[in-house]
Structure 1
Amino acid sequence: MKIKPTSSRMFSLLVLYDMQTLFFERALEKISDEDAHKRLDTKANHIAWLAGSLVQQRYEVANLLGYTEKQQAESLFKDGKGIQDNVQYPPLSQFLQDWNKISPILQELLSKVTDEKLDEKFEMMQGMVMSHYELITFVIYREANCIGQIALWRRLLGYDALRYDDM
């Protein structure tokens, strides 16, 4: 990690954030856009949706911390929108482009977040109040979960396993 966080509570979360920034890119390596939409006769979220929802999540956290831009496919994911049948999601290259744009911006925002901001509570959705720290912690957990799902899809679709070398 190149950036020293303002809050010591953010150090380990930023280490995971950096790892997941790399793992997301590797998880999508060489996957065709056709395969990214396959659900193999299940109701599982396909790779395209998983990728877009992760990009959306990073933009939404950045928005909570003052950044105002949105991902290109925001309309497909905003307001917690789940996977939609019979929708052609954007190519993985578009999600990677937005991921590579937001990742350093959000890393910087997360590194500058103060303990006061981390402790600040907000209403996530009606009746659900949480602190910014709780949200950021959950987001980091969810990123690992979704990248793991993409890694499983890689194997189910006949691609090589996710690479963990040269970290």
Structure 2
Amino acid sequence: MDTSLSAQLNMIIPAYRMHTQIFMNALDGISEEDALKRIEGRTNHVAWMAGNFVNTRYGLAGVLGINEKDPFDELFFQGKALDTQVTYPTLSELKANFHKISPVVYDALLKITDARLKEEVPLHMNISFFPETLLNFIGMCIGREDYLCGQIGLMRRILDYPGMKYEVNEQLKY
């Protein structure tokens, strides 16, 4: 297992890597056509969920000082609502962006120090019990990824795909 310079992130690193696995497993086999289906016109579709997941990784990259911009940022930034008038990227495009940004963020996470984790990251949430620090921002991103993978997993079943598997691809080192 890779070890972070920060003991605080040694809990986050395995979660980040597991989310990489779960994200790919959750999308496994979903057709491009099914990725755009909504339930009774009320849910987000899988393409939006996947795009928001990838955008979360790009957002984390930005906060970590990585100069990479999500090519689909205008569709997903800060969980922007699904727009039924917009053509969303394909799962293939989103997976390519995911595999581009994820290892870069992973490497950056391994190099963060405890001192840096205390840095302020202004989120303007104004929540008394939530210090707006880099550590808490990273935690929020991990939580968002959990949520989105769960949503995609549920959509798999609704769209009549088999449940998501928890198999691990040892080739994914991020």
TM-score bin (small chain) = over 0.9
Tell me which of 148, 153, 157 is aligned to 2:150: 148
Tell me the C-alpha RMSD between the 2 structures.
Answer: 1.6
Q: Distance in 2 between matches of 1:42 and 1:117?
A: 43
Query: Are 2:162 and 1:160 equivalent residues in the alignment?
Result: yes
Higher fraction of strand:
1
Query: Are 2:132 and 1:133 equivalent residues in the alignment?
Result: no
- Compare 76-85 and 150-159 and name the one that shifted more: 76-85
Question: What is the Cα deviation at residue 122 of structure 1?
Answer: 2.4
For residue 29 of structure 2, give the secondary structure of its aligned residue in structure 1.
coil
Alpha-carbon contact 2:119-2:133 (below 8 Å) kept: yes
For residue 90 of structure 1, give the secondary structure of its aligned residue in structure 2.
coil
Question: What is the Cα deviation at residue 134 of structure 1?
Answer: 0.7
- Compare 92-101 and 36-45 and name the one that shifted more: 36-45
1:7 — aligned with what? Answer: 6
Cα gap change, 1:126 to 1:157, in 2 (>3 Å): closer
1:18 — aligned with what? Answer: 17
Q: Distance in 1 between matches of 2:125 and 2:106?
A: 28
**What TM-score comes out, normalization by structure 2 length?**
0.89
2:37 — aligned with what? Answer: 38
Cα gap change, 1:79 to 1:16, in 2 (>3 Å): closer
Question: What is the Cα deviation at residue 78 of structure 1?
Answer: 2.6
Q: Distance in 1 between matches of 2:144 and 2:13?
A: 14
**What TM-score comes out, normalization by structure 1 length?**
0.92
1:67 — aligned with what? Answer: 66
Q: Percent identity?
A: 37
Q: Distance in 2 between matches of 1:155 and 1:92?
A: 18
Q: Distance in 1 between matches of 2:137 and 2:168?
A: 30
Q: Distance in 2 between matches of 1:90 and 1:60?
A: 18
- The answer for unaligned runs of 5 or more in structure 2 is 170-174
- Number of corresponding residues: 166
1:77 — aligned with what? Answer: 76
2:107 — aligned with what? Answer: 108
Q: Which runs of 4+ in 1 moved over 4 A?
A: 126-129
Cα gap change, 1:113 to 1:39, in 2 (>3 Å): same
Question: What is the Cα deviation at residue 126 of structure 1?
Answer: 6.7
Q: Distance in 1 between matches of 2:3 and 2:63?
A: 21
2:172 — aligned with what? Answer: none
Counterpart residue identity of residue 157, structure 1: L
